[in-house]
Amino acid sequence: MSSFTEKLMAPGSWQLDFDPATPSDILDLSALAFSRIVITPAHIPATDADPDEIVAQARYVGLLRERTGRTRWGGPGLAALLGDEDGKGNTFAAAADDVDLPKYDGGNPSWILTKVLRDAGGGANGITAGDITSTGTPSKEGNIEVGDTPRDTLEWVCRVFSGDKTNPQEWRINPDGTLDQRNKETLWPTAVTPTAIAVRQGGASTHIADGSGLKLIPVVSFGTEGDWDDWSSATMAVGPEVELFGTPYTFTGRDEIADNPFVDIAGDPLVMERVVETNKSKSNADNEDIAARIQGRHENESRHIDFTVDLFDLAEVGQVGDTIWVFDLLDGLTNRSNLIWLAAEPVFPLAARIVEATSPVRDGHGAYLLWWTGSTFELTDVTDYVRPDDRPMRVGVGDPKRLLGLSRPSRRA
Amino acid sequence: MTDLAPGTMTIGPVGLDVPLRVPDEGQWRGEQVTISGSLGAEQGYSLADSRTLRSQFQGLGSLAQKIIPVRWGLDDVDGFYAVDPPEIKTDGGSFTHGVFDFSVRLTRVRTWQQLVQQERVIGALRSKPTGAVNAHGVSTTNTIAWHSPGVGALGYLVDGETLSDGDTIDTGDGSVTLVWDSAETLFNATAKWQVRPDDFYLGGARILVDEQHDGTFRRVVGDQMSNHPGHWAISNGRLTVQGAADCRIKVGINDGTGWASWKTFQVTYDEALNAFTAEPSIVRVVRNTPERAAVRVVFGTGSALTTLDVALRRGASYAECLLSSSGTVNWGVKLIDPDVSPVPVGWGAIEPGTTHVAGIHATSYDPDGNKVFLASPQVIEPAHPDTCANVGLYLPGTTRQLAWGVGIEAGVDIDTFTDHVWRYFAAQHGHSRPVIA
């Protein structure tokens, strides 16, 4: 099963299955761990273009990190270079208190340049700055703890520099290894107006010349899961404990839901408050920001909608992180406030964000391994040996799917 | 209730126009029956009818809703059945002599008395095709969010209540029920009712095609139809919209006394209402369910794309149309005399029109006693109040899309064109399926 799974602001994973009759010299390449696997939307023979051009066309780039026998290769996406699933990366071996830097200021020291991309500190395994707004102000103070990875620091930076719960700071790593860090609506303009709609196959058609650019995602089947397991009525961010004028003092900040819709068994507002500990803030106001950002994530049903789609590639309609319309009246996937015209049919879809997508590697995609010879990178075309997969692709929208044991929000902020 | 001719049966919509003879063999096993026999010419069908029947049979495999009424005309076996995609055998000569062996497996879900038809309806004020609010100040104070279960609905309730307003209208299929209320409940409600298998399709929306080009229209079953771009129709027993050559549609009404008041509308492209003459090249099914049916016609060839979508709801006296084009012009529509060719330039004077908010209607009842009307959420000319030599409208600003409603007010009804226009402005989406009572 050759496929790649992309996840919003997480490493994701990929896997390629090779034909058993693949020549040994190709299968030998499976020993070159941390080489890049490059998947392109169309197959370009490696002899027809130079490696940089092929990588520039890449649809997905991942790191080779595991193999089963020699015919199944796999590994994570590039985000693992900033900090993998186990917390390895260019980790901070020493704590740093009272760091006060702007988010990103071009070549000047900043949280992103100095503490995430670790310029002049050992780098971030080759990840470089992409689209990030450059400005000297504001600057924020924070602490770095022993063992923090650049990805941990990036997540803290996004949290602390987000002014608006509805348009937070987010990040994305592109196939070329650059890091984009902007607010959500800039990285993914579809957050404001979705341009694709997922409806059951046979439900509609958008091939008309209406100029709307609305793309149809024909869904084979919808599956929904939802829970309020993480819903909270308020969030309190506590810590760190410092010494103020010789007396111990603990910073605190609290954010409460504006309109609590749930009641307890006596009919009074339900109190389900969450407490998170943080060691990075420098004031009560910082704690309030942290509490607000975390509270904003837990004010609605955590709903995950999985659907299988008959598309060649998700890139035809969008990418992970984009907001799309989803409509299936009988499953309750509808929102009366949105009236969208699918040709002459009025539909009332829900807006939901693509948080993960598993795309099969199709017959037609190109697959290459970009590996280090000792002095240079060499691109080897492995397309002919990869077993393609014609199954429908799976897209997940809404909140990230629950994985047993791994999904409870951390108590450490 | 319609009576089945002896020796015939219906499987969903199959057998409603071309009769389906009860096949030779039927084998029951619990609630499942497998019936098999021969469709076609050896039983006295014309070749055209045999092929239509075969194609309708094949359409059973692509029905949107797989639980359908099946009738032998016998109380002990008639009911609602889940239908598996049928098997149809063809041999080298089948399409020439019209004989097809078939077998289909049906599983009875319940007797019809144990099933309730449930339709989930959701809606909002109709917006312009771009999503912007309508140009005429029409608001939800004017709209009439409505619903119809068709003919023969029993125990019909919306969200468990009887709505405050209702009407029954006479149609070619029988007496059709309509309900609505001033609270616009039907913008977000669930309607439930029971219906006999005999009445299930009466008053329902359907798509028809005239494959022989001789005026004989046959039902399209499922989501595929053969391509006869100038010979299709969409109907609900009350209003029928027929496709025609060039960029035209014909609209007629049946108030229980037969089809009448046929009007031909020509799509136009400039402020003088000159005819847009492009031949239709493709017609396809967009939706084919009794609660709503829609077709799309594609005009012209080459690098331009102009499409006309026509949709019709069960119980409606108006059709919802959308013209969409890669060309940006002053799209419009006007009444013409279909016997005059070529279409005269300019407005014409087929029937004088008087504008109303958001549209225009025939100033007087026509010789059949009915009044045709047009409406649109976009900015249109002539604007209200105005009188006009002909019923027509156009968009003063050049654009790619024209959304319009076309309907006929039946003189015998209490509802006027104003009521129908307010219904048109309630854009509703419905999805119906049978559930256990």
| Number of CB atoms found within 10 A of residue A244's CB | 9
- The predicted structure's pLDDT at residue B437: 81
Q: Is the pLDDT of residue A163 over 80?
A: no
- The predicted structure's pLDDT at residue A167: 87
- The predicted structure's pLDDT at residue A50: 83
Average pLDDT for A247-256 = 92
Q: Which helix (H) or strand (E) holds A183?
A: strand A178-183
Q: Is B4:B16 a contact under the CB 8 Å cutoff?
A: no
Q: Is the pLDDT of residue B240 over 90?
A: yes
CA distances from A389 to A7, A23, A393 (A): 20, 21, 10
Is A346–B310 a contact, with Cβ atoms under 8 angstroms apart? no
Residues whose CB is less than 8 angstroms from the CB of residue B124 and which lie 6 or more positions away in sequence, other chains included: A336, A337, A339, A346, A348, B187, B427
- The predicted structure's pLDDT at residue A379: 92
Q: How far away is chain A from the Cα of B284, in angstroms, using its nearest Cα?
A: 11
C-alpha B386/C-alpha A140 separation (Å) is 66
Is A348–B429 a contact, with Cβ atoms under 8 angstroms apart? yes
C-alpha A103/C-alpha A170 separation (Å) is 12
Token output for B178 = 């309509």
- The predicted structure's pLDDT at residue A212: 73
Residues 395-424 of B with CB under 8 A from A: 400-401, 403
- The predicted structure's pLDDT at residue B391: 96
> Residue A147, by phi and psi: left (phi above 0), alpha (psi -120 to 50) or beta?
left
C-alpha A171/C-alpha A156 separation (Å) is 12
Q: Is the pLDDT of residue A140 over 90?
A: no
Q: What is the DSSP-derived secondary structure letter of residue A52?
A: H
Report the SS3 class of residue A290: helix
Q: Which helix (H) or strand (E) holds A31?
A: none
- The predicted structure's pLDDT at residue A404: 43
Q: How far away is chain A from the Cα of B187, in angstroms, using its nearest Cα?
A: 8
Number of cross-chain residue pairs from A and B with Cβ atoms under 8 Å apart: 87
Q: Is the pLDDT of residue A264 over 80?
A: yes
Residues whose CB is less than 8 angstroms from the CB of residue B50 and which lie 6 or more positions away in sequence, other chains included: B39, B40, B41, B98, B99, B100
C-alpha B379/C-alpha B393 separation (Å) is 10
Average pLDDT for A277-290 = 83
Q: Is A127:A82 a contact under the CB 8 Å cutoff?
A: yes
C-alpha A317/C-alpha A305 separation (Å) is 17
Q: Is the pLDDT of residue A62 over 80?
A: yes
Q: How far away is chain B from the Cα of A32, in angstroms, using its nearest Cα?
A: 50
- The predicted structure's pLDDT at residue B42: 59
Q: What percent of chain B has pLDDT over 90?
A: 78
ipTM of predicted complex: 0.88
- The predicted structure's pLDDT at residue A413: 55
- Tell the burial category of A401 from Cβ atoms under 10 Å away from its Cβ (0-12, 13-18, 19+): middle
What angle, rounded to 10 degrees, do the helices at A284-297 and A150-160 form? 100
Is A343–B309 a contact, with Cβ atoms under 8 angstroms apart? yes
pLDDT band for position A315 (cuts 50, 70, 90) = confident
Q: Is the pLDDT of residue A182 over 90?
A: yes
Tell me the chain A residues in contact with residue B126 when contact means C-beta distances shorter than 8 Å.
346
> φ and ψ at A302, to 5 degrees?
-85, 105
Q: Which residue of B has its CA nearest to A345?
A: B429
- The predicted structure's pLDDT at residue A412: 56
Q: Is the pLDDT of residue B126 over 70?
A: yes
Of the candidates A210, A330, A344, the beta carbon closest to that of B311 is on A344
Is B324–A210 a contact, with Cβ atoms under 8 angstroms apart? yes
Is A345–B286 a contact, with Cβ atoms under 8 angstroms apart? yes
Q: Is the pLDDT of residue B270 over 70?
A: yes
Pick the range with the lowest mean pLDDT from A149-158, A212-221, B156-165, B324-333. Answer: A212-221
Helical ranges in B34-117 per DSSP H = 47-59, 94-97
Cis omega (within 30 of 0) for bond into B385: yes
Q: Is B130 on the interface with A (CB under 8 A)?
A: yes
C-alpha A278/C-alpha A410 separation (Å) is 11
Q: How far away is chain B from the Cα of A337, in angstroms, using its nearest Cα?
A: 8
Token output for B46 = 């014309």
C-alpha B147/C-alpha B155 separation (Å) is 15
Average pLDDT for B107-111 = 89
Is B322–A330 a contact, with Cβ atoms under 8 angstroms apart? no
pLDDT digits (tens, 9 = 90+) for A379-413: 999 999 999 998 888 898 887 655 444 445 556 55
Tell me the chain A residues in contact with residue B65 when contact means C-beta distances shorter than 8 Å.
none
Q: What percent of chain A has pLDDT over 70?
A: 94
Q: Is B126 on the interface with A (CB under 8 A)?
A: yes
- The predicted structure's pLDDT at residue A61: 96
Tell me the chain A residues in contact with residue B296 when contact means C-beta distances shorter than 8 Å.
205, 208, 343
What amino acid occupies position A244? L
C-alpha B301/C-alpha B279 separation (Å) is 9
pLDDT band for position B151 (cuts 50, 70, 90) = very high
- The predicted structure's pLDDT at residue B92: 82
Tell me the chain A residues in contact with residue B294 when contact means C-beta distances shorter than 8 Å.
343-345
A406 or A257, higher pLDDT? A257
Mean pLDDT is highest, among A138-142, A166-170, A223-227, B8-12, for B8-12
- The predicted structure's pLDDT at residue A267: 94
Q: In chain A, which residues touch B (CB < 8 A)?
A: 202-205, 208-212, 329-330, 334, 336-337, 339-341, 343-348
- The predicted structure's pLDDT at residue A73: 96
Token output for A223 = 């599956």
C-alpha B417/C-alpha B356 separation (Å) is 10
- The predicted structure's pLDDT at residue A302: 78
- The predicted structure's pLDDT at residue B41: 60
Cis omega (within 30 of 0) for bond into A150: no
A296 or A111, higher pLDDT? A111
- The predicted structure's pLDDT at residue A203: 54
| Residue among A222, A341, A348 with most chain B CBs within 10 A, to mutate | A341
Pick the range with the lowest mean pLDDT from A31-40, A216-225, A366-375, B174-183. Answer: A216-225
- The predicted structure's pLDDT at residue A400: 63
Pick the range with the lowest mean pLDDT from B18-32, B245-259, B399-413. Answer: B18-32
Q: How far away is chain A from the Cα of B314, in angstroms, using its nearest Cα?
A: 14
- End-to-end CA, chain B: 22
Q: What is the DSSP-derived secondary structure letter of residue B238?
A: S
Q: Is B66 on the interface with A (CB under 8 A)?
A: no
